[in-house]
Amino acid sequence: MMFVDRAIITFRAGRGGDGCVSFRREKFVPRGGPDGGDGGNGGSIVLVSDPRVHSLVDFSHRHTIRAANGAPGSGSRKTGRSGADERISVPPGTVVKTHPDERMIVDFTAPEMEFELARGGRGGRGNSRFKSSVNQAPRRADKGLNGESITVILELKLIAFAGLVGLPNAGKSTLISRISGARPRIADYPFTTLTPNLGVVYHGYDSLVVADIPGIIAGAHRGEGMGLSFLRHIERNRVLIYLIDVSGFDGTDPVETLRLLKGELAAHDPRLVRKRAIVVANKVDLINPESGPSGVDQLREHCDREGLAFLAISALRERNLDALKNKLFELYHES
């Protein structure tokens, strides 16, 4: 299934039905009074956060969604049928904003939340409503009112306890596949992960969700690479896991890589770098112990100076993954 995390769509609530002008027409009742009924109310647009929905793909080919109109009233004071509400399912984590100024309307932070986004129009009054002592035969009826219409931005921000942040090929997909039941696509080229993956990590009777965020590169906050498409998902994470390749095969400096990642997050939103974090050195199985000080040593020293939690692992060889899980659940229970 295609993953879609942003959509612009117009919602139109239903129009109210018109009121009816009618008079009783019965045998032996030559001057029957007014008996026009009211129009039915238009249907409203109601958004519902549904945990069974994981993407905004249903909105990718729809530009307008309408609720049903109310039916007009009829004689014998019969009220028209009200239009059915249009209940729209969105994933938990969806933020609804005005378009184009992007002011937040509602944030679906939990499953089963409901929000009436556009109210249906009121049905018009029939002429029986206007009868009075001075107007025994009113020929007036109201028109139904139009329902509300609004164009909004739907933006999905994944809800996960921890987010994996790293350069392409840092080993994020491999790691999430080893610590959870997630089965992401894994290959040895940049941007293997084109959509965020969620994995559930178990520890005894406890569980938490980890998100594999597609690779960040320099300039991501300006939209380069995967860019802003996935930086927004990190906003929901309560803990960040900076995954750093310390093998040395790609020629990168692990400390500079960490600075680059934190710099891109800070440029997107300064609050991101204030989140609790674990720096995880990956691919330690590829380090030659006889070659002297390595990138993992430099990164460990840097984290010690900065007061950052640090772990060295090999996701591929499943080395020290239990220690990583223990640290995650320790932070989980502290929150």
For residue 300, the model assigns a pLDDT of 95
Give 3-47 pLDDT, tens digit per residue: 577 899 999 999 999 999 999 877 766 567 899 999 999 999 999
For residue 302, the model assigns a pLDDT of 96
End-to-end, the C-alpha distance of the chain in Å comes to: 33
Concatenated DSSP letters for 280-310?
EEE-GGG--GGG-S-HHHHHHHHHHHHT-EE
- pLDDT above 70 (res 54): yes
User: For residues 335 and 58, which has the higher predicted lDDT (pLDDT)?
Assistant: 58
Closest CA to 179 of 333, 332, 326, 330: 326
For residue 231, the model assigns a pLDDT of 73
Torsion of CA 286, 288, 293, 299, to 10 degrees: 10
- pLDDT above 50 (res 103): yes
Q: Report residue 93 as tokens.
A: 């984590």
- Say if residues 74 and 39 touch (Cβ distance below 8 Å): no
Q: What is the pTM of this model?
A: 0.70
Going from the N-terminus, what domains does the chain have, and what CATH number goes with each?
Answer: 1-156 (2.70.210.12), 162-334 (3.40.50.300)
Closest CA to 249 of 215, 292, 282: 282
Q: Is 258 helix (H, G, I), strand (E, B) or coil?
A: helix
Length of the chain: 335
Instruction: Please report, for residues 92, 149, 154, 195, 213, the alpha-carbon distance to residue 106 in angstroms, rounded to integers and kept in the order given.
Output: 12, 16, 10, 24, 24
Which residues contact residue 185 at a Cβ distance below 8 angstroms, ignoring those fewer than 6 apart?
Answer: 173, 192, 193
Residue 278's DSSP bridge partners are 241, 309
The Cα 86–Cα 46 span in angstroms is: 6
For residue 223, the model assigns a pLDDT of 46
For residue 108, the model assigns a pLDDT of 95
The Cα 97–Cα 113 span in angstroms is: 16
For residue 10, the model assigns a pLDDT of 97
- Say if residues 58 and 91 touch (Cβ distance below 8 Å): no
Give 266-308 pLDDT, tens digit per residue: 888 899 999 999 999 999 998 877 665 678 999 999 999 999 9
Q: Which of 106-110, 189-193, 323-327 has the lowest mean pLDDT?
A: 189-193
Q: Is 228 helix (H, G, I), strand (E, B) or coil?
A: helix
